[in-house]
Amino acid sequence: MTERSAPFVTARWLADRLGEPSLSVVDGSWYLPSAGRDPEAEFKAGHIPGAVRFDLDKIADLSSGLPHMLPSPEAFAAAVGALGISERHTIVVYDGAGLFSAPRVRWTFRFMGATDVRILEGGLPAWVAAGLPLETSGPKPEPEQFVARLDRAAVRTLGEMVETAASGAAQIVDARPADRFRGEAAEPRPGLRSGHIPGSRNLPASALVTDGRLKAPDVIASLFAEAGIDPAQPVITSCGSGVTAAILALGLETIGAKDIALYDGSWAEWGGRADVPIETGPAR
């Protein structure tokens, strides 16, 4: 994905700009079921003033049978336009964990053509820790027109992943925990096989994050090197369902990688099929 804007803004930066007509603030919170958290309820209990709620499970291709797959550009444009968001806006995304689902929401906006999309560093916890206000009233945005222009180089399909796994034309890095990557732990989604895409490497997304913030670029560079990934060469990120893969993509962006793509279906798609190969054990 092409580099278009610095990925992070601080809580103070955002607070100083709230209310500007060209700014859209987006709560992109989403959690794994095991977290026991309700992002919708948390949004209603308190969110950054003026923020709108982006639900990864609803602004998605609901016909695919897979979780939060990219919607059509027309459906996306209609949904975010109704939230008052234009591709011309500066869009700041945050989540309630600090840094978990916001990278996926940012990646989605950029894939759809928005050029200035940032992440609130430290997320909602950093905003609260800075003593900044929350509101509980529901947002009433004025509708905007969002013109989608897809960055097709940023996403990979199942067919393209099958070809890549066979040819080795790009490096594949998997963001799932190591025991799931090796096939030693069952997948949280029923019906999925255990293991990983042949030839892929493993770098758990959690290794890149401390206290809801992305680690320093030199640390991230070392982590990718230890995982056997060369950021100067093409990289495709994957995970369980395409959410934490975006954390790896964000980390690669911060260390200067240019040729980054994300496998949208991730293991929810690959592990659910009997017609694609899998490997178990550590990366070879």
For residue 245, give the nearest of 227, 268, 263 by alpha carbon: 263
Dist CA 176 CA 195 (whole Å):
10
d(CA 113, CA 74): 12
Q: What is the DSSP letter of 196?
A: B
Give Cβ neighbours of residue 208 (< 8 Å, ≥ 6 apart).
Answer: 214, 215, 220, 223, 247, 248, 251
Contacts of 215 (CB under 8 A, 6+ apart): 208, 209, 223, 251
Count helices and strands (H / E) in the chain.
10, 12
Amino acid at 124: L
Q: With b meaning 16 or more CB within 10 Å and e meaning fewer, what string describes 163-175?
A: ebbeeeebbbbbb
Identify the bridge partners of residue 214 per DSSP, sorted by sequence position: 209
Q: Compute how many other C-beta atoms are within 10 angstroms of the C-beta atom of residue 195.
A: 21
Catalytic residue among 59, 221, 239, 249: 239
Which residue, among 57, 80, 83, 82, has the nearest Cα to 70 in the 3D structure?
A: 57
Does residue 239 carry a catalytic annotation?
A: yes
Question: What are the CA-CA distances from residue 158 to residues 70, 130, 241 (Å)?
Answer: 13, 43, 13
**C-beta separation of 206 from 98 below 8 A:** no
Which residue numbers are catalytic?
239
